[in-house]
Structure 1
Amino acid sequence: MGTKSFRKIKLFEKEKGREILLLAPLFILLMLFLFIPFLSVIKESFYDSFGKLSLINYKNIFQKSYMEALKNSLSLSIATSLLGVIFGTIISFYISKSKGMIREWLYTITSLPLTFSGLIIAYSFMITLGSSGTLTLILQKIFGIEPLEFSSYLYTWKGLTVAYLYFQIPRMIIIMISAWGNLDWSLVEAAESLGAGTITIIKRIIIPVLWPSILAGSVLLFAVSMGAYGTALALTGVSVNILPLTIYTQVSDVSYNLPQADALSVLLTFVTTFSIYIYRRTFAKM
């Protein structure tokens, strides 16, 4: 082996060692705050309330109330993901086509909801659209609406869907702005010059280019909706039966059952992880 080859090997080993050293803090953080806690959750889920090994918590998952919570969470997550993808894609298109300061301001405004916690978002909706909310009182004076009747929708599935979209749409906008930037508009112009209609251009050119970002965004929105509970808890309490709130009730003072909460948490993690797995399989085939 020559001197040059030996130097290359030493340089490679040095760079590899440097990369490992740089990644070590991230690995330690993941171990301490993700993998070890999750393994602990899995372990505790196999114990009953008396501390004995049992599968009772996983059998209980198939009870009607838990299955209803899972179904409601899936319905809410799918609905908010689809609406978030549609509105986020459309809004991001107009932001990407704007210029200069206007684009920067629009991007900043749409990103603001992501800096707020779920509780702040929920209380903001209450202050604005509650029975004594600012917008509610304005609408009462202008259109003569009944405040209690108008605000009652805020604490139902409809209000929860709107509140979820408030922080889902900005996520999709951020993802799609870069996707619109990667679109070669000369292809669109060429298709138009050849007589292609708007629908044909969208189907044959725009959607294929944007599809990876749309798919990634939809999976992200779905995962966020499945796990979100702060907004729902503040708006509806535990009157809405979704999986995150069901888990919360299992560790509350009303009904403390930590092993059952662990099993439901494993179920929630499995659903979100499975959605990511489907995305990766779909993306690999593209």
Structure 2
Amino acid sequence: MNEGLARRFGAVPAGLLLALFFALPLGALLVSATEGNGAAFVRLAHDPLVVSALGHSLALAFAAGTVSLLVGLPLAMVLAGQPPQRRGWLLALLGVPLAFSGLVIAYGFILAFGRAGFVTSIVARLGADPATVGALIYTTAGLVAAYAYYLIPRVALMLYPAIANLDRRPIEAALTLGASPLRALFDVALRELWPSIAAAWCLVTSIALGTYGTALALAGTQINILPLLMYLKLSDGQTDFPQAAALSLVLMAVCTCVLALGECLARQRRH
């Protein structure tokens, strides 16, 4: 009896949560964005700042996702090769950056790499210009580094189980047949891991697309990206809710396309 009720109504709580915290806010955004027969979308299409923000957001997110993948994948491989006790400590340490908010991470980077940061001071003693070095953290490259700080652990934690459960027999067979370790890695292991790698890259890239707090604390409104452009639409006396809602829908659509791309690549690889 209880099992039948669970099968019939077990999804009701999840459905209610989805309706309250996704469907209703999304509906409110749609209503606000389509006021005046969609005039907000027309204004966005003719606003050069929106096109520029979209391009900068994609470039920033792709760079942050790629850097995170290039560092997180070897880190996951190292994790998979550790004994259980040491692996547990390493996994706990990897989870620390995920506990910080974007603002905390941004202020930490400012204290370390800003114009008066202790790393900048050390580099200045070696002869570098502290003004030049300290200004890097407030650029797009600095945002990529700050984003990668908390995206790398996500990549490593996502890919570690796939690597740990990877069937070693095809790799050993390739090595036995004369393939070099690097050839076996690329031709055998990465072919099996490709769906997980694509999903991890798309996930962290979509997170970077929508990140707001870190970018605001580091760059203010000096770098034109979609989340900060949305902030401008709701500040400085503008309070343009229809355009902010339209920008939200555009950003959500871009993030959804990136995630869908990862899923399509993963499915093609499985088949």
TM over 0.5: yes
Q: CA deviation at 1:168?
A: 1.0
Describe the shift of the 1:69–1:16 C-alpha distance in structure 2 as closer, same or farther (beyond 3 A): farther
Task: Single out whichever of 182-191 and 244-253 deviates more from structure 2.
Answer: 182-191
The match for 1:271 is 254
Task: Single out whichever of 121-130 and 182-191 deviates more from structure 2.
Answer: 182-191
Q: Which of the numbers 171, 184, 193 marks the counterpart of 2:154?
A: 171
Does residue 1:249 correspond to 2:237, yes or no? no
Unaligned runs of 5+ in 2: none
The match for 1:66 is 50
Task: Single out whichever of 103-112 and 213-222 deviates more from structure 2.
Answer: 103-112
The match for 1:151 is 134
- What are the superposed Cα offsets for residues 228-272 of structure 1, whole Å, 9 maximum, x if unpaired? 011000000010000011011111134221100000111111111
TM-score (norm 2): 0.93
Q: CA deviation at 1:16?
A: 4.2
The match for 1:105 is 89
d(CA) in 2 for partners of 1:161, 1:89: 17
Which structure would you say has the larger Rg? 1
Q: CA deviation at 1:19?
A: 3.5
d(CA) in 2 for partners of 1:19, 1:231: 43
Structure 1 counterpart of 2:49, which letter?
S
The match for 2:14 is 26
Structure 1 counterpart of 2:142, which letter?
G
Does residue 1:17 correspond to 2:1, yes or no? no
The match for 2:180 is 197
Moved over 4 A (4+): none
d(CA) in 2 for partners of 1:200, 1:27: 47
Q: CA RMSD of the aligned region, Å?
A: 1.6
The match for 1:50 is none
Q: Which of the numbers 77, 93, 102 marks the counterpart of 1:118?
A: 102
Structure 2 counterpart of 1:177, which letter?
Y
Structure 2 contact 195–265 (Cα < 8 Å) conserved:
no
Structure 2 contact 69–201 (Cα < 8 Å) conserved:
yes
Q: CA deviation at 1:218?
A: 1.1
Q: CA deviation at 1:25?
A: 2.3
* Partner SS, residue 54 of structure 1: helix
- What are the superposed Cα offsets for residues 88-116 of structure 1, whole Å, 9 maximum, x if unpaired? 10111112111133222222222211111
The match for 1:217 is 200
Q: Which of the numbers 27, 51, 59 marks the counterpart of 1:39?
A: 27
- What are the superposed Cα offsets for residues 201-228 of structure 1, whole Å, 9 maximum, x if unpaired? 1232111211111011011111101110
Unaligned runs of 5+ in 1: 1-10, 48-52
The match for 1:206 is 189
d(CA) in 1 for partners of 2:62, 2:4: 42
Q: Which of the numbers 128, 131, 135 marks the counterpart of 2:115?
A: 131
d(CA) in 1 for partners of 2:56, 2:5: 48
Does residue 1:185 correspond to 2:173, yes or no? no
Structure 2 contact 199–263 (Cα < 8 Å) conserved:
no
Structure 2 counterpart of 1:134, which letter?
F
Task: Single out whichever of 14-23 and 242-251 deviates more from structure 2.
Answer: 14-23
**Identity over the aligned pairs, expressed in percent?**
32
d(CA) in 1 for partners of 2:258, 2:145: 23
Structure 2 counterpart of 1:84, which letter?
S
The match for 1:81 is 65
Describe the shift of the 1:278–1:250 C-alpha distance in structure 2 as closer, same or farther (beyond 3 A): same
- What are the superposed Cα offsets for residues 97-139 of structure 1, whole Å, 9 maximum, x if unpaired? 1113322222222221111110000000011111221222233
Q: CA deviation at 1:157?
A: 0.6
TM-score (norm 1): 0.89
